[in-house]
Amino acid sequence: MSRTIRRGAPPRRPANQRPRRKVKKASLGDRILAKLPITETGLKRAVTWTLLGAGGVAVVAAAAWVGIPGMAGTAVAEGVGRAGFRVEQIEITGLKRMDRMTVYAVALDQQSRAMPLVDLEGVRQNLLRYGWIADAHVSRRLPDKLLVDIVERQPAAIWQNEGQLTLIDKEGVLLAPVDAASMPNLPLVIGPGADKQEAGYQKLLAAAPALKPRVKAAAWVGDRRWDLTFDTGETLALPQDGAEAALVKFAQLDGARPLLGKGWLRFDLRDPTRLVARKPGQDTQHRIPDDGASIGTGTNGAPSMTAGAGNSPQEG
């Protein structure tokens, strides 16, 4: 029996073979989303919350700019807070010595915790009232985090006044009380007003770097000059004027022939032309080589080291 062949007709597909489907190529954006550690639903939710928060902040700012009453702007901001943009976390950085709970308390001291209503500059100014804090930066991280970055002051000395010990920085700012039983290894400045002289005291020590690590205490005398005490126990009286030059001169003398740790009790340079040194029980003359200075007898039979003529200065 003959078959009729139709020209141009497509070949028949076997009954058990399914038609091929075209595979849609994934876009670059889809491939990036697939690699993110968050679901697409979660990402959309985060974007939505961010836009809502930014919109809420913008609405409050616009309301204030066009003069809408504050209660209306506050109501909008509170609505944004109820939507999830409310301070729930505080992240503090830069804190080393100051009490962390104090910073938390200052940051949370708000009339409202709705993000648009948090007074960032107010938080900063309140933090700056604490001696430890030299500067602070406060910012928002939506939806619910407040960032507080602290710049702390560095302790430079311990101020002793009327029996009280207080840690101070290089500018004399009071930082914290100090327990006498556990004092840090810092220079001690003594006397009324010594804290206000800390910047000048640091400059004085910088003039003689070789002696700086050996100075353990400094007394501010008569609100006008310094008496330095070294780690070997001697005291050096410096003049009211020209204290830096006098300290440099003493460092040069000590470098030429060590004076510290040799049994002297007190050195006096209030007269810039003469160094008076006291040492009980010694009244013989000595020579300091290479500089022409000599040690002779001062007032009341106390030995004096002289670099020129002049009388021994009076105490005070």
- At 299 the pLDDT is 47
pLDDT digits (tens, 9 = 90+) for 268-297: 999 888 899 987 655 543 333 434 444 444
Q: Report the candidate in 192, 197, 166 with the shortest Cα–Cα distance to residue 179.
A: 166
Same domain, residue pair 74 and 121: no
| Residue 109 falls inside a structural domain | yes
Cα 302 from Cα 298, distance rounded (Å): 5
Provide the percentage of residues in the chain whose pLDDT is more than 70: 61
Pick the last residue of a domain from 152, 185, 202. 152
Cα 154 from Cα 183, distance rounded (Å) = 16
Domain count, the chain: 3
Is 25 part of any domain? no
CATH classification at residue 190: 3.40.50.11690
- The pLDDT > 90 percentage for the chain reads 49
Q: What is the pLDDT of residues 165-203, one digit of tens each?
A: 999 999 999 999 999 888 899 999 999 999 999 999 999
* pLDDT tens digit sequence for 24-55: 565 555 555 455 555 555 555 555 555 555 55
Indicate whether 208 pLDDT > 90: yes
Residue 188 exposure: Cα atoms within 13 Å on the Cβ side: 18
On whether both 174 and 296 belong to a single domain, the answer is: yes
* Least confident segment among 62-71, 76-85, 145-154, 257-266: 62-71
Q: What is the pLDDT of residue 203?
A: 95
Q: For residues 167 and 107, what is the distance between their CA atoms, to the nearest angstrom?
A: 25
Distance CA 180, CA 151 (A): 27
Q: Is residue 33 part of a domain?
A: no
Residue 193 falls inside a structural domain: yes
